[in-house]
Amino acid sequence: MTGQRRGAAKGSAPGWLGRLLRRKRTEVPLDPDRGDLVVVVDCTEDAEACSTALERGADGAPAWRPDEQAVLRHHLRVPAGAVDTVTAIAGQDGYLARIITADQDPVQVDLYRVQLLDALHCSQERSRMAGLAQRHGGDVTGWDALQPGSGAAG
């Protein structure tokens, strides 16, 4: 054998692996500051599973597109004295922070990052954000996902 793979031709792997391999070669990272981003999924109910919210988003308008990058945004309320610590910890995992209400205590903070969104990773990140907020005396009020409006180029 001369180093060729058996089975599918290069770049045509089936399922999620194939999508991942094709995406890495062609996709430009989504800019989280784009002006055409719209909320395609949202969840403010602790009891709602991420999979349920994502299914609802896929059926909604505008519809969540699972094969495209999204901005996953978590909405936290944390005491003013904990904002720097919370944002620094989240920043270690690639999250950016926007302070929504700096003049109130608790402070409303949005933590967001660009990623491919699926139920498993969404659920993991949701849990991590809840733990982060709770360890610093805060809570999470919900999460949402944004993607470019339909017809927008990447």
Q: What is the pLDDT of residue 26?
A: 54
> Which has the higher per-residue pLDDT, 27 or 33?
33
pLDDT for 133 equals: 98
Would strands 139-148 and 37-43 be described as parallel, antiparallel, or unpaired? antiparallel
Task: Tell me the two tokens of residue 138.
Answer: 């805060």
pLDDT at 89: 97
The model's pTM is 0.80
Gap between the Cα atoms of 81 and 142, Å rounded: 21
* Average pLDDT over every residue of 38-67: 95
Q: What is the pLDDT of residue 29?
A: 87
Q: Indicate whether 56 pLDDT > 60.
A: yes
- Cβ proximity of 73 and 144 under 8 Å: yes
* Cβ pair 66, 54 in contact under 8 A: yes
Local structure of residue 2 (DSSP, 8 states): -
Which tens digits make up the pLDDT trace of 66-124?
999 999 999 999 999 999 999 999 999 999 999 999 899 999 999 999 999 999 999 99
Return the pLDDT at 103.
92
Is 99 in contact with 83 (CB distance < 8 Å)? yes
126 and 145 in contact (C-beta within 8 Å)? no
Look at residue 111 in the predicted model and tell me its pLDDT.
Answer: 98
What domains can be seen in the chain, in order of their start residue?
29-148 (3.30.70.970)
Taking the C-alpha atoms of residue 84 and residue 28, their distance in angstroms, rounded to an integer, is 30
Task: Using the predicted structure, report yes or no on whether residue 27 has a pLDDT greater than 70.
Answer: no
Pick the closest to residue 51 from 124, 144, 122, 119 (CA basis). Answer: 119
Answer positive or negative: Cα dihedral of 97, 77, 72, 59: negative
